[in-house]
Structure 1
Amino acid sequence: MHADVRRTAAVFCSFLALTQAFYIPGISIKTYKDGETIPLFVNKLYSDHSELSYAYSELPFVCPISGRNKVGRFTSGASLSLNLGEVLRGDRITVSDYELVMGNDEEARYLCSHTVDRAGLKRTRELIRDGYVAEWIVDNLPGATSFQTTDKSRKYYAAGFKIGEEVRDSPLEPPRYFLNNHVTLVIRYHRAPGRDGDQGKKVIVGFEVFPKSIEAGNRTEDGLPTDIQNVSNGLEVIPRSNSTGKVDDTDDATLTIPYTYSVYFREDERLEWKNRWDMYFVAQDDSSNIHWLAIINSLVISGLLTIVVAVIFGRTIRGDIKLYMESGLDEGKPRTKKSRGTRSPKKSFEKNGLLDQVGDLEGEGELSSDEELEDITGWKLVHGDVFRSPPYGGLLAPLVGSGTQLLFMAAGLLILSTFGILNPSFRGGYVSVGMGLFVLAGLFSGYFSSRVYKTFGGQLWQKNVFVTATLVPGLVFTSVFILNLFVWAQASSTALPFGTLLGLVALWLLVQLPLVYIGGRYGYVKGGAWTHPIKANVIPRQIPAQSWYMKSFQAILLAGFIPFAVIFIELMFVFKSLWQDKSGYYYMFGFLAVVSVILVLTVIEVTIVATYVQLCSENYHWWWQSFIVGGSSSIWIFGYVVWYYFTKLHISGFVSSLLFFCYGFLACGVYALLTGTIGFLAAYAFVRRIYGAIKVD
């Protein structure tokens, strides 16, 4: 016994060790030798004040890319091919004109001068006001602003850099806007591992960007500042006359912006290539104690629920069965208490199941007194109706099928992320791989949907397959398409291109639909319906009045709070990564995996307890109730989304707010579908167990 406990503890501790979520950086390492040109890619602008991002190369104040440079297989001005995840997150990656040569420092280099009209300057001021930051990429590393921890013991990176600054000379005066038209690029490198290092090759381990605003005047003939180290005035974004350079209020006034940059290469012997992303995660590492608190909180809640479920199984239900066996039932007829000890009950249970005999007793009406009825109450009374097909079963079956599809996708993503196969260096990988897993899981969706549908007595399995393949994906696609119209109107890179929309439709109808059909046909024809141990009565039993806590809305809220309490702390970090940092570089997937496993167990246990209490109240409409209870924590999560918007975020603008709430609602709906399916399957297994699997040999 002690050996088993030690072995179980060792396995659990090994599983918790995964909470550090090691990182697999990639298959190949890109090395550079001195004098080799390094491409710099410009991507997009994003802000924590808005849900809209914009392609950097399409902004009005940016130098048009000339296309004059060729770096390896890349030509400046060319757009890179993007995967689905990159497109959905608003990436628009383009090769820039910036020239970076490994090992060559450039104190100042001229890029271009770009004239911006009045409308473009107004747009520039709006972007600076909303706190937009730019994302550039070198060797798959996002350009970062460097900071120090509060104790100044470590440095960490925040992806992106500001495009400008908003300055207020006094509270009563309007703000002034200064554009950062000079960047200092610091490329940190390390000796390449293995033979490449012996040949003098290097790998890039850091990419820092330090922006600066420098006035347009006081420049040399080459367009460079006369003294780049001592700049007193920045470039204020206001329209000026082309002839005098003074402020001009006319509509045709413009501003010519000169762009320059500096490049420095610095060796970093402490940071190796495989650990180069650690600098982006220092701030998250400092919060590891809070992650452990989340796990302990989840374990306590789940442990208490486990005790409740154990009591239900171990004492209440088994006690009911024992009382039945001691009642001396024989051939379906009850015996009075005076003669209980004259016969053995075993004979009667060899012929029929326990609950079949209870049905005979109830049907024949031969119970002699209230004293003999005291054991035939609660969940035992509804045995003749508990497996009655639910109303709208043709809708519940497709929902359960789609839920299993999401469950497969979520489990696959979580496993791949925990083991580091999916990581921040795989840009857009989570969405792309998730979409692939979802489409492939159409087989499981069709299979489970068809089996549930046939169990409910459905006959039109082709119709069920079509509904399963189109209901949830169709609702999500329609919602995304409508929201995309608003984003298109804002000229944001977050808008999905028309070709991508067509590709998604083709993936949906030409790949997923056939897979759902194959799984559905196999599930309906080969798998068939699940058999129930008890046949439903012809006439439904009347349900008595329910207690206040058993009424649908109250029961849903009460049951949903417990799973929400399990994931609340970890959910805070996910929200921060998605909506505050805007980098999407959440990587504590080990912690998330542990919390997710506890969440699944909690949903199962909550649904079982809720179903048992419902059956004890003689309410046999548990099919839909179990599904809704399983997904009920999504109500609390959406409430948390609303609270987070008003207390933590600084989002402004109708379109950004619309996108936030709509996508938040869709995410909660997907979560409800997934956990609702878990609850439904758990409740179904529980009901089959207590009504059919307990027999006396």
Structure 2
Amino acid sequence: MFIWLWAGLVLWGTLRACSSCYGLAWFDFCAIDSEKRPSENLGQVLFGERIEPSPYKFEFKKKVDCKPVCTKSYNTNKPEDKAHLDFLKKGMLLNYQHHWIVDNMPVTWCYDVEDGQKFCNPGFPIGCYVTEAGRPKDACVVNSDFKDKDTFYVFNHVDITIHYHVVENEAAGARLVAAKMEPKSYKHTKVEAPDCAGGPMYLNNKFSGELKIGYTYSVQFVEDTHIRWASRWDYILESMPHTNIQWFSIMNSLVIVLFLSGMVAMIMLRTLHKDIARYNQMDSVEDAQEEFGWKLVHGDVFRPPRKGMLLSVFLGSGTQIFIMMFVTLFFACLGFLSPANRGALMTCAVVLWVLLGTPAGYVAARFYKSFGGEKWKTNVLLTCFLCPGVVFADFFVMNLILWGEGSSAAMPFGTLVAILALWFCISVPLTFIGAYFGFKKTGIEHPVRTNQIPRQIPEQSFYTRSLPGIVMGGILPFGCIFIQLFFILNSIWSHQMYYMFGFLFLVFIILVITCSEATILLCYFHLCAEDYHWQWRSFLTSGFTAVYFLVYAIHYFFSKLQITGLASTILYFGYTMIMALIFFLFTGTIGFFACFWFVTKIYSVVKVD
């Protein structure tokens, strides 16, 4: 039985692996062109994951020692060879990594870390570098032989260990439960007939002349009866960095947020209960005129907001995103979108977004009609094309940059056409159907009538003005997500697996609750100050969480990533802006619906003369 090892430099669209945005072929590693590449799903293509066939092959239970793969020869006097060497050195300097998979399992490099624990990295570096001061960087610290100053060491040999267990009463006979490897560097004494002897394969930074690098590998098989097939990913996930710290931080964040949410809910319920009881006990108009607060603006609180068309479009797109995220995370919690199903998370999100055009059109139409709007055609078209168009335009510009730089993470033209077909042929018609039913229904009935003449808003204090309230409103929601945000950004930009979808779903629910309560609280304060412009303020208050997200992403860029080059910087911030826009629509919609429910509720339970 033969097992094929598929190896690829998985770029994921990350800037860590896109400092100069070149694909696999530019690294001049051993390759095989005679075999067909496996097909990727939509999620893998969107993430820039490309799988290439590998010349590293082995037969089950057949031990291999120092088997040659290929030999690469370079002459620095030739411009093409010098360019390949320079790029190889740049890749080692930036800690580029190979990502191999066998039987859908990542080939991991397990090494000891602090406290006697092991960390299994689903990738291994192409090499490492010792600085001019003699300080080893990255993987060079694991080998004491790497000590020459201003020198690059190439990992041109791998020791692969396949762990398997025998399955009784099955034709397959055995199952692979783990694939581990150890990268090594050998300057083979005979490159044509390698023996995996001699010192490390080094390359001085100022080297000139001819150089030969021989790539080899060894394979051994180990029977392991302790690892079950269903748990074969556990040894990777359990060794992820700072797992214990992540659990503690998440629990700490949840306790704090739940406590604050309980306090907000208690204050709101007690205060509103007293207000409603006091207002309902008034017997005369004179008593009502002596009162100030939220009841005095009952004739203006449902007045249509300015730019109601834009707000309704944002609400429709936000509803679409909210349902998509909820269903995606729910399926992820059930295990359908685990790391073993490559690209499934993004594929599920895109398909759900396409199919949820009907709720987007319905919500946008319903609220636009309640705002008194009559340009229904414009409303439907903006719902179909405004927010998705901005995201697609940003993504297309990023893809053009990847195309221009020759990156393998660039999306093929055919995939772009397929995405446009999904958008125009499925999402747009569904949005029109939802808008048809939204406009067909009667407008939203409000519990109080709206006065013809707008009430004058008194001068507001600093704390009840719009901008301070909006800025303060996003702090609490961001406080409950920033820990998860760190690990999510690590999984996107630093090739770390994210698998704690249960905690992510719990944080998602708490984020919804926190956005709702924080926005309701600020809305109540503004209504008590006789400021009845709550629609846009409620949307922007919780939506301002996206601004904190953007600031945190900028901090992450400068503190955690090693990105060089204008193209890579543009790519990072381009993709970050897409995430910030989606998060803005998501949180803003939550805040608006929470305040809409709150305002409708309180004005429906009081007597209005």
Give TM-score scaled by structure 1 length.
0.80
Match of residue 619 from structure 1: 531
* 1:207 and 2:179 are equivalent in the alignment: yes
2:535 & 2:294 partners in 1: Cα distance? 15
Q: CA 1:136/1:55 → structure 2, altered by over 3 Å: closer, same or farther?
A: farther
**Aligned 8 A contact 1:54 1:90 in 2:** no
Q: CA 1:381/1:235 → structure 2, altered by over 3 Å: closer, same or farther?
A: same
Q: CA 1:575/1:496 → structure 2, altered by over 3 Å: closer, same or farther?
A: same
2:251 & 2:308 partners in 1: Cα distance? 37
Match of residue 276 from structure 1: 232
* 1:129 and 2:93 are equivalent in the alignment: yes
CA shift digits 1:41-71 (9 cap, x unpaired): 122155874545978652342234152xxxx
Match of residue 487 from structure 2: 573
Match of residue 93 from structure 1: 51
**Aligned 8 A contact 1:166 1:175 in 2:** yes
* 1:43 and 2:8 are equivalent in the alignment: yes
* 1:590 and 2:545 are equivalent in the alignment: no
**Aligned 8 A contact 2:544 2:584 in 1:** yes
**Aligned 8 A contact 2:280 2:606 in 1:** no
Gaps in structure 2 of 5+ consecutive residues: 75-80, 136-147
CA shift digits 1:176-198 (9 cap, x unpaired): 22322222221111223x522xx
* 1:225 and 2:141 are equivalent in the alignment: no
Match of residue 294 from structure 1: 250
Match of residue 26 from structure 2: 59
Q: CA 1:534/1:435 → structure 2, altered by over 3 Å: closer, same or farther?
A: same
Match of residue 139 from structure 2: none
What amino acid is the match of 2:468?
Q
**Aligned 8 A contact 2:69 2:217 in 1:** yes
CA shift digits 1:360-403 (9 cap, x unpaired): xxxxxxx4xxx76322x111111111101001101110100000
1:98 & 1:328 partners in 2: Cα distance? 88
3-state SS in 2 of match to 1:187: strand
Q: 1:639 aligns with which of 551, 561, 571?
A: 551
CA shift digits 1:614-640 (9 cap, x unpaired): 111111111000000121112222221
**Aligned 8 A contact 1:179 1:237 in 2:** no
Q: 1:650 aligns with which of 549, 552, 562?
A: 562
2:520 & 2:220 partners in 1: Cα distance? 62
Q: CA 1:289/1:233 → structure 2, altered by over 3 Å: closer, same or farther?
A: closer
Match of residue 319 from structure 1: 274
* 1:392 and 2:359 are equivalent in the alignment: no
2:565 & 2:489 partners in 1: Cα distance? 20
1:651 & 1:417 partners in 2: Cα distance? 31
Q: 1:543 aligns with which of 445, 453, 457?
A: 457
What amino acid is the match of 2:403?
W
Give TM-score scaled by structure 2 length.
0.91
Q: CA 1:300/1:101 → structure 2, altered by over 3 Å: closer, same or farther?
A: same
1:663 & 1:463 partners in 2: Cα distance? 28
1:372 & 1:381 partners in 2: Cα distance? 8
Match of residue 124 from structure 2: 161
Moved more, 474-483 or 648-657: 648-657
**Aligned 8 A contact 2:19 2:563 in 1:** no
**Aligned 8 A contact 2:280 2:607 in 1:** no
2:251 & 2:300 partners in 1: Cα distance? 40
Match of residue 81 from structure 1: 39
2:176 & 2:372 partners in 1: Cα distance? 63
What amino acid is the match of 2:213?
I
2:33 & 2:550 partners in 1: Cα distance? 47
Match of residue 630 from structure 1: 542
Cα distance, 1:451 vs. partner? Answer: 0.7
Q: CA 1:620/1:294 → structure 2, altered by over 3 Å: closer, same or farther?
A: same
Moved more, 169-178 or 304-313: 169-178
1:105 & 1:56 partners in 2: Cα distance? 32
**Aligned 8 A contact 2:253 2:480 in 1:** yes
CA shift digits 1:325-382 (9 cap, x unpaired): 33324xxxx3xxxxxxxxxxxxxxxxxxxxxxxxxxxxxxxx4xxx76322x111111
2:295 & 2:348 partners in 1: Cα distance? 47
2:203 & 2:282 partners in 1: Cα distance? 92
**Aligned 8 A contact 2:158 2:218 in 1:** yes
Cα distance, 1:550 vs. partner? Answer: 2.0
2:18 & 2:477 partners in 1: Cα distance? 29
1:54 & 1:150 partners in 2: Cα distance? 34
Moved more, 199-208 or 409-418: 199-208
Note the aligned Cα RMSD (angstroms). 2.4
Q: CA 1:546/1:661 → structure 2, altered by over 3 Å: closer, same or farther?
A: same
Q: CA 1:232/1:45 → structure 2, altered by over 3 Å: closer, same or farther?
A: same
2:593 & 2:259 partners in 1: Cα distance? 21
What amino acid is the match of 2:121?
A
* 1:113 and 2:28 are equivalent in the alignment: no
Match of residue 488 from structure 1: 403
2:504 & 2:23 partners in 1: Cα distance? 33
CA shift digits 1:479-534 (9 cap, x unpaired): 11112222222211222122211111111111110111111111211x33211122
* 1:665 and 2:568 are equivalent in the alignment: no
Cα distance, 1:577 vs. partner? Answer: 2.5
CA shift digits 1:20-41 (9 cap, x unpaired): xxxxxxxxxxxxxxxx000111
Match of residue 289 from structure 2: 373
Match of residue 407 from structure 1: 322
* 1:678 and 2:590 are equivalent in the alignment: yes
The structure number with the bigger radius of gyration is 1
3-state SS in 2 of match to 1:381: helix
What amino acid is the match of 1:105?
K
**Aligned 8 A contact 1:144 1:161 in 2:** yes
1:669 & 1:631 partners in 2: Cα distance? 9
What amino acid is the match of 2:404?
A
1:447 & 1:474 partners in 2: Cα distance? 19
3-state SS in 1 of match to 2:481: helix
What amino acid is the match of 1:487?
L
Match of residue 599 from structure 1: 511
**Aligned 8 A contact 1:295 1:594 in 2:** no
3-state SS in 2 of match to 1:385: coil
* 1:437 and 2:402 are equivalent in the alignment: no
Q: CA 1:48/1:323 → structure 2, altered by over 3 Å: closer, same or farther?
A: closer
2:538 & 2:8 partners in 1: Cα distance? 46
3-state SS in 1 of match to 2:397: helix
1:627 & 1:578 partners in 2: Cα distance? 28
3-state SS in 1 of match to 2:152: strand
1:51 & 1:280 partners in 2: Cα distance? 25
Alignment of 1:504-543 (within 5 A): 504-525=419-440, 527-543=441-457
What amino acid is the match of 1:596?
F
**Aligned 8 A contact 1:44 1:54 in 2:** no
Q: 1:264 aligns with which of 197, 220, 224?
A: 220
Alignment of 1:312-351 (within 5 A): 312-314=268-270, 316-329=271-284, 334=285
3-state SS in 2 of match to 1:389: coil
* 1:178 and 2:153 are equivalent in the alignment: yes
Q: CA 1:429/1:122 → structure 2, altered by over 3 Å: closer, same or farther?
A: same
CA shift digits 1:154-197 (9 cap, x unpaired): 544101111112134645997222322222221111223x522x
1:634 & 1:189 partners in 2: Cα distance? 46
